[in-house]
Structure 1
């Protein structure tokens, strides 16, 4: 399904997806976007995959959408732009948010525009010291897309989100961590190792419980207390039918380490 522009490997229940166009700082083509969406959908359905890592090759994590890849010819009709966003960048971000396995961004370099939003949509974000995050849209006279105006206020609050989007300044990895956009900053040479360790730890956990927890957290800011409490109760009801939940309780009673199977 994927080509050389998107590499993927699966091992120890971890799917690693690597953007592989280093000459463009991994600017996303429509083909790459579709590959990633497909891989995330497969990860949700594949019992052997229990965690996902997204990263890039070279100096860039992802420099955003490759504006040259889509072409500029032809007459533009009313609704074309909105339709392109719905079926393109927004689908990509939704695929990350909706993936039923935890997704880690291992940000190895520049993450700009859609590339930054791809990282921010992930459940956990690791950044190399050399990583930079840029809300580049204002520099091009554009409105943020790829869910940026949805994601950023929920991560850093509306004032900080506006500052980042109004000025488009590059944010260092350390500053991104300080603002809460990044979970941890590591030395460049430690990024792959740390991402692998985090992913393997997640992959050894109770997979369905993690999926339900992700769903609860993701919708928590979009609902009222009554709906949130109802969703929590429903998630608990579903989770208590899983073998992992029974194993977790049994291991506690027996005072031993739980051995989760992902179902």
Structure 2
């Protein structure tokens, strides 16, 4: 079964993360398929807008930690190569492709999942979706561009608090703090997302592309810095212990090392 689905709807493409049993956690196959699907949409001149969503009751819970734990055990020095190799190119595509991208956040959206949603141009949120940065819960800082996109959306002070404390928040909170988007009932997310992407697909695509280029300036520096920081944190005892605790459904204990 494909871990990422693509459906052509007129001049738009609906891209669906398709690992519902894993709450659309991103493993190697899903990341590769998502990058390929987005690259194809970006290169197709007949596609004028993209909708990104998730199957089941989650949008995306970020990295598949079971796969990550295996990478840590095998070679901690390279376990975070995925940040630069996989996540950064996906985020660049979402943020810089010459057509608008809408995130239909149909459910839980945390970690790299939140970063994907914020890399999109516009968002539709299910009113009961759970949002969180989540990284510090496993001894990490943010990646996938979140240090730039979250700060741009809610301000540096609020972004710092959301990352350091890692507490969850609601779509209503997100809109109040400055994240652009619309909040609808969960049952209406797909229809609302499709309506918005259809509207954008009929709009001035060149003007949309120019607007995206103007707003994308700080992203590359953030992605490079995040990659360096995550690689270093991947070697800490705090991170290794927190991942194992998460997988065994225990509360992690942090030593600061």
State the TM-score bracket (shorter-chain normalisation): 0.7 to 0.9
State the match for 1:174 in structure 2: 172
Q: Tell me: CA distance 1:171–1:31, structure 2 relative to 1, closer, same or farther (3 Å).
A: same
Q: Is the 8 A contact 1:127 1:182 kept in 2?
A: no
Bigger mean CA offset, 37-46 vs 161-170: 37-46
Deviation at 1:179, TM superposition (A): 1.2
Residue 219 in 1 paired to residue 217 in 2? yes
State the match for 1:184 in structure 2: 182
Q: Is the 8 A contact 1:43 1:101 kept in 2?
A: no
Alignment map for 1:9-28 (pairs within 5 Å): 9-28=7-26
Q: Tell me the SS of whatever aligns to 2:128.
A: coil
Alignment map for 1:242-261 (pairs within 5 Å): none
Deviation at 1:82, TM superposition (A): 5.3
Deviation at 1:221, TM superposition (A): 9.2
State the match for 1:237 in structure 2: none
Deviation at 1:81, TM superposition (A): 4.7
Aligned residues: 219
Q: Tell me the SS of whatever aligns to 2:67.
A: coil
Highest CA radius of gyration, 1 or 2? Answer: 1
TM-score of the superposed pair, with normalisation by structure 2: 0.80
Deviation at 1:48, TM superposition (A): 1.4
Q: d(CA) in 2 for partners of 1:59 and 1:84?
A: 26
Q: Tell me: CA distance 1:220–1:206, structure 2 relative to 1, closer, same or farther (3 Å).
A: farther
Alignment map for 1:3-152 (pairs within 5 Å): 3-70=1-68, 71-72=70-71, 73-77=73-77, 80-81=78-79, 83-152=81-150
Structure 2, gaps ≥5 residues long = 221-257
Structure 1, gaps ≥5 residues long = 223-263
Q: Is the 8 A contact 2:42 2:93 kept in 1?
A: no
Q: d(CA) in 2 for partners of 1:5 and 1:161?
A: 31
Alignment map for 1:194-209 (pairs within 5 Å): 194-209=192-207
Bigger mean CA offset, 62-71 vs 154-163: 62-71
State the match for 1:165 in structure 2: 163
Deviation at 1:134, TM superposition (A): 0.7
Deviation at 1:97, TM superposition (A): 1.1
CA RMSD of aligned residues (A): 1.9
Deviation at 1:195, TM superposition (A): 0.8
Higher RCO (CA-CA < 8 Å; seq separation 6+): 2
Q: d(CA) in 2 for partners of 1:54 and 1:213?
A: 20
> Could you list the per-position Cα deviations for residues 210-238 of structure 1 after superposition, in whole angstroms to 9, with x for gaps in the alignment?
1112111222899xxxxxxxxxxxxxxxx
